[in-house]
Structure 1
């Protein structure tokens, strides 16, 4: 068995470890869990630290338990929040739980055995738990003074919006999760982000008081970027693991564009590469940082594991379309979803197939027919075409009077390019 705590320590992930945790893990195969709150129908890269924690836990010979909080998602954790979030309906939460389960199955081995991963939903043990039973069997074991001392509670009490009773009880609900898993799954360690420490130790305290048991806790560092901006966010918001929310191309580009300093940190946290390989990659990167070998290795590893090797290849192909010496064949090789994702946000317009067929020249197409999308006048279009600065579907135009007849991408699209970086999407309907 590999030393799990040491593995996370050299990767720069460890924040707090309860005394005795490392000894327990080195002594025997141990079940440990992390909770995932199903407030959306997809996880995002902010969850990847905890996913990778469970992956390393399993690779070190232990049994990972992924708790999907169908019940706690109805309450809302105040940790790290400045205001109470909207509570979700049971149907929405059930759908979200199913989606999260499918994503976690990409990372963890659920095939069984001593270290086979298991997934649980705390709704299963809370749905029949009556309120009076809960306050009698759980609430009496944890004092209000103990709960009030938690940082997550104190910060919210001092804030403008205060703290609802619903959120205040969250640590008891999460603490009972740990107790239930301890009693029913022999789960002896809970892990999570450093903002979860208070909730986790409430669970260990509940186990000590109610079951006379000995449980453990470990938290990971909250990831920040070198420039101080929030990790996991892009201009469009969260970077999701669901390809319908964040395309594999955009996912790949996020990692490809991280800073050198962040890449050296992220490649330890988000890949399974061993220490020697990572140190060699960093040394190689430092010799020629302009080649961005570290970012490329990071983006390749994580895109393949989250999506697939085929989607990674498509992301490379799409990147070459925008930034490399691509051809018409490269554009034609993109499926419609990738094509639209690639050119999302560029100026767009539509033209009827009848008008397209009736358009005489490329000069007319790029000015009048498309409503001055690319050029405001025929004169400007003609001048830049003659200068060799315009292409359609990666074919450079040289004659302003050339017939406006091109093989449509996916039988409906044209990509016009003006200069090196200005793209335009024309839909022929």
Structure 2
């Protein structure tokens, strides 16, 4: 990795942490007005490059090498499993637990960090840090070792499917990697058996409210009420209050059968614009374009006009939010009066939607 790429990653990670904590605090306060900012403590973000950049290998081995036990490193499951695999393990991965152990020691000595939190897969590295600190502190009889590790299980669904990069279903808090609408859709697909458990884990709704949500959900699971609330809460937690509502507008506009009167064009346009799903369209373009030409324009040429003509001939193109306004002719030109509130164009071609705002 180049220095430029590394620095860019550091900046992005820092921005994500800062945004997540600020947004999370606002979210928590919106769900529980008794929480005050003055009661939430402080936080610091540290980059281990600051203490490693001046540390030479010979210096590290001379000062700390004798406190590291190779037999213990080899005995840890994370190392044993890699050693027994066909790929084996590189020296960089093997020594990673040493680097993480020293990070814990440095944070403990300079910033009073006593607890390290990580997933279950980090158990060996966390224990290595505690052991490392214990061995070093024992050299100074005036100090006492008081460090701890807290591990949390990897998240799984009721059917046993793991969440994460290796499972191919990870979601990221960076909107450039996972737009908030994708988070909404991801949580909306949650299995019924997981709704209550995930609401407890990922929302800060009062328990009594969660119980009522689950009760309503269980009374008619086809409505997916629980999944909708879960998806909205997750979006608000990660991206800020109101993000869940806007994504609910997008979802209901595109997929609900009874959304014609629920949202006005302003709600819909605001929600879709947040997801960069709206294309500006002039009255001239609307008045001079047949539906295949219009779809070609709105798709940025990703599909051909002939493909859209075939979809129309196959009864697969609709105007608006329901299937009762079918485009029946390839020569159809849509009049402004047929748009939602006279300015919102919503076209469905097969399984894809195209949204445009009429501008002067």
1:242-301 alpha-carbon deviations (Å, 9 max, x no partner) = 222222212111112201122222222222234444344334433333333322222222
Point out the structure with the larger strand share: 1
| Aligned counterpart, 2:347 | 416
The 5-angstrom pairing of residues 265-284 of structure 1 reads: 265-284=197-216
Q: Please report the TM-score for the alignment, with normalisation by the length of structure 1.
A: 0.63
1:285 aligns with 2:217: yes
SS at 1:269 equivalent: helix
Whether 1:294 aligns to 2:220 is: no
- Contact 2:117 2:150 survives alignment (8 Å): yes
1:392/1:289 CA distance change after superposition, 3 Å: closer
**Residue 340 of structure 1 aligns with which residue?**
277
Q: How far did 1:336 drift?
A: 4.5
Cα pair distance change 1:397/1:306, threshold 3 Å: same
Q: In 1, Cα distance between the equivalents of 2:251 and 2:69?
A: 57
Q: In the alignment, which residue of structure 1 is the partner of 2:300?
A: none
State the match for 2:318 in structure 1.
391
Aligned pairs for 1:17-96 (under 5 A) are 88-96=1-9
Q: Is the 8 A contact 1:175 1:199 kept in 2?
A: yes
Aligned to 1:80: none
In structure 1, the partner of 2:236 is: 304
Aligned twin of 1:259? 191
Instruction: Give the number of aligned pairs.
Output: 320
By how many angstroms is 1:215 displaced? 1.3
Residue 426 of structure 1 deviates from its aligned partner by: 8.8
Q: Cα–Cα, structure 1 residues 230 and 100, in superposed 2: closer, same or farther, change >3 Å?
A: same
CA distance in 1, matches of 2:251, 2:274: 15
Give secondary structure in 2 for the equivalent of 1:209: helix
Q: 1:98 aligns with which of 11, 16, 20?
A: 11
Tell me, in whole angstroms, the C-alpha distance in 2 between the residues paired with 1:316 and 1:234: 29
Aligned to 1:115: 41
Is contact 2:319–2:327 with CA below 8 Å preserved after alignment?
A: no
The 1:310/1:355 distance shift into structure 2, 3 A limit, reads closer
Answer whether contact 1:201 1:217 (CA < 8 A) is retained: yes
SS in 2 for 1:238: coil
2:88 is aligned, of 144, 162, 165, to 162
* C-alpha spacing 1:317/1:355, structure 2 compared with 1 (3 Å): closer
TM-score (norm 2): 0.74
Q: Does 1:222 align with 2:159?
A: no
2:305 matched to 1:371? yes
Gaps of 5+ in 1: 1-87, 344-352
> 2:70: which partner in 1?
144
Could you list the per-position Cα deviations for residues 98-119 of structure 1 after superposition, in whole angstroms to 9, with x for gaps in the alignment? Answer: 2222222234369898931111
Residue 238 in 1 paired to residue 170 in 2? yes
Bigger proportion of residues as helix: 2
